Amino acid sequence: MTKRVVSGQRPTGRLHLGHYFGTLQNWVRLQDQYQCLFFVADWHALTTKFDDVGGISEDTREMVIDWLAVGLDPKKCFIYKQSDIPEVAELFVYLTMITPVSWLERNPTYKEMLREITSKDIQTAGFLSYPVLQTADIILPKGNLVPVGEDQLPHLELGREIVRRFNFLYGDYFDEPEALLSPVKRLLGIDGRKMSKSYGNSIFLSDDPDTIRAKVNQMITDPARQKKTDPGSTEACMVVYPTHHVYSSNAELQEIETKCHEAAWGCMACKRELADKIIDSLAGFRERRAEIEKEPGIVNEVLREGLHQVRPICRSTIHDVRSKLNIFSETTVV
């Protein structure tokens, strides 16, 4: 039996290059190798946006259009929305019953988020239970492999512990899902911090060429290099050279280094070349996105089709789980 891949992304609206190199490039590759289920984690978005729900459906739409335009193909993978599957919420309820609060409280990602998000009070039961919901997402459709970034590993480990506990209490049923870590290219935002929508330092996949040029021009280079005639240092270059790394071959990098170190070109020329590469790499994306936008019903169609494929798997799991928990009876409507 081939393994099943499950992964989700919170709806954050239009996606940026960090999302592409961190997640999507990988998903597009996986859809040719495994049965893949990719979903919009809109309930997870609520854990931090419960007080700002106005944009969730538009953010979902924009994100799914970006998914399709980067090459996720609904003929190869299932694309759906978490909140369309009530069985996710039902399984979440059962899993919360067997998950010790102490496991959730010691989760390093949780502790870090509590430290970082100071603008609002996220000490809610929902936010604490984020990894429990994530576990339900994965095991409900019987996912085995979960492509995630390193920051998500604690969540996944917790998920495995929850599965072990479930199997211990009710009899072996779920497989322990495994992380699928693949080499990701780390992308910096134009200010040198991690690229993140909330930092306002992102280059979006859907940015037009002029916007991309303007953003690349703002990128920090070698702070010690004042004039074009000063020799530069690619090691000290803060954003432009590291970004060239993502887009260039070794030979090209070598040439960039030489030209910088020998002051054979200035930072502006180097930035121009980088902007050209980014713009070229997104040409196909831009065309596909424009085509997709012409079909107003497409996002709903894709989500409906994905739901149609995935829901029966989820129903069957919930049916088994109810039997195991002894709460299945003739009055139960499934």
Q: List contacts with ligand TRP (CB under 6 A).
A: 6-10, 41, 44, 134, 137-138, 146, 148, 152
By beta-carbon proximity to ligand TRP, the closer residue of 12 and 221 is 12
What's the closest the beta carbon of residue 203 comes to ligand TRP, in angstroms?
20
CB of 265 to ligand TRP, least distance (A): 39
Q: How far is the CB of 8 from ligand TRP (least distance, A)?
A: 4
- The nearer residue to ligand TRP, 109 or 281, going by C-beta atoms, is 109
Contact in structure between 203 and 214 (CB atoms under 8 Å): no
Phi and psi at residue 30, to the nearest 5°: -65, -30
Q: Cβ–Cβ contacts within 10 Å for residue 81, how many?
A: 22
CB closer to ligand TRP out of 8 and 189:
8
C-beta of 21 vs 265, nearer to ligand TRP: 21
Compute the least distance from the CB of residue 210 to ligand TRP, in Å: 31
CA 103 centroid distance within chain: 24
In the complex, minimum distance from the CB of residue 19 to ligand TRP, in angstroms, rounded to a whole number: 10
Q: Which is nearer to ligand TRP, 158 or 278 (CB)?
A: 158
We find the least distance from the C-beta atom of residue 20 to ligand TRP, in angstroms, to be: 14
Q: Which is nearest to 38 in space by CA: 15, 213, 289, 161?
A: 15
User: What minimum distance in Å lies between the beta carbon of 138 and ligand TRP?
Assistant: 5
| Smaller CB separation from ligand TRP, 10 or 61 | 10
What percent helix, strand, coil does the chain show, rounded to 5? 55, 10, 35
Identify which of residues 74 and 131 has a Cβ nearer to ligand TRP in the complex: 131
Look up residue 173 and give its two tokens: 């049923």
Using CA atoms, how far apart are residues 71 and 67, in angstroms rounded to an integer?
A: 7
Q: Which residues of 120-155 are buried (b: 16+ CB within 10 A; e: fewer)?
A: eebeeeebbbbbbbbbbbbbbbbbbbbbbeeebebb
The enclosing H or E element of 117 equals none
Long-range pairs, 209-213, Cβ under 8 A, ≥24: 209/275, 209/279, 212/275, 212/278, 212/279, 212/282, 213/272, 213/275, 213/279
